[in-house]
Amino acid sequence: MARTLTDHLGTTVTLPDGPVRRVVSLVPSLTEAVAVTRREALVGATDWCTHPADLDVARVRGTKNPDRAAVEALAPELVLCVQEENRELDVERLRAAGVPVWVSVVESVPQALASMHRLFEEVLAWGVPDWLADVEEVWGGGAGADAAEHGSVESHDAARPPVRARVAVAVWRDPWMVVGSRTFTGDLLRRSGLANVHEDHEERYPTVALEELDSAGADVILLPDEPYEFTPEDGPEAFANTPTQLVSGRLLTWYGPSMLEAADLLAAVPAQP
pLDDT of residue 147: 35
Strand partners, 45: 25, 59
Query: Which pLDDT band, with edges at 50, 70 and 90, does 201 fall under?
Result: very high
Span 71-97, average pLDDT: 97
Strand ranges (E), the chain: 2-6, 12-16, 23-25, 42-45, 58-59, 78-82, 101-104, 165-172, 177-178, 194-196, 220-224, 244-247
Helix axes 130-139, 28-38, angle to 10 degrees: 130
**Whether the predicted pLDDT of 228 surpasses 70:** yes
Give yes or no for a contact between 141 and 156, defined as CB atoms under 8 angstroms apart.
Answer: yes
pLDDT of residue 272: 75
Q: Provide the pairing of β-strand 42-45 with 23-25.
A: parallel
Determine the 3-state secondary structure of 127 from DSSP: coil
Query: Which pLDDT band, with edges at 50, 70 and 90, does 1 fall under?
Result: confident
Domain 161-267: top CATH class: alpha beta
Domain with CATH 3.40.50.1980 in the chain: 2-105, 161-267
Span 159-174, average pLDDT: 92
Cα-to-chain-centroid distance, residue 186 = 12
Give yes or no for a contact between 235 and 170, defined as CB atoms under 8 angstroms apart.
Answer: yes
What does the pLDDT look like over 22-66, one tens digit per residue? 999 999 999 999 999 999 999 999 999 999 999 999 999 999 999
Strand partners, 81: 103
**Whether the predicted pLDDT of 146 surpasses 90:** no
Helix (H) or strand (E) holding 92: helix 88-96
What does the pLDDT look like over 120-145, one tens digit per residue? 999 999 999 999 999 999 997 544 44
Angstrom distance (rounded) from CA 244 to CA 2: 52
Q: Point out the least confidently predicted range of 116-130, 239-253, 258-272.
A: 258-272
Topology, domain 2-105: Rossmann fold (3.40.50)
**Whether the predicted pLDDT of 154 surpasses 60:** no
Sign of CA dihedral 136, 142, 146, 151: negative
- Among 269, 230, 15, 262, which residue's Cα sits nearest to residue 135? 262
**Whether the predicted pLDDT of 153 surpasses 60:** no
How much of the chain exceeds pLDDT 70, in percent? Answer: 93
Rounded to the nearest integer, the mean pLDDT of the chain is 92
Model-level pTM? Answer: 0.90
Strand ranges (E), 41-189: 42-45, 58-59, 78-82, 101-104, 165-172, 177-178
- Among 48, 76, 42, 75, which residue's Cα sits nearest to residue 64? 48
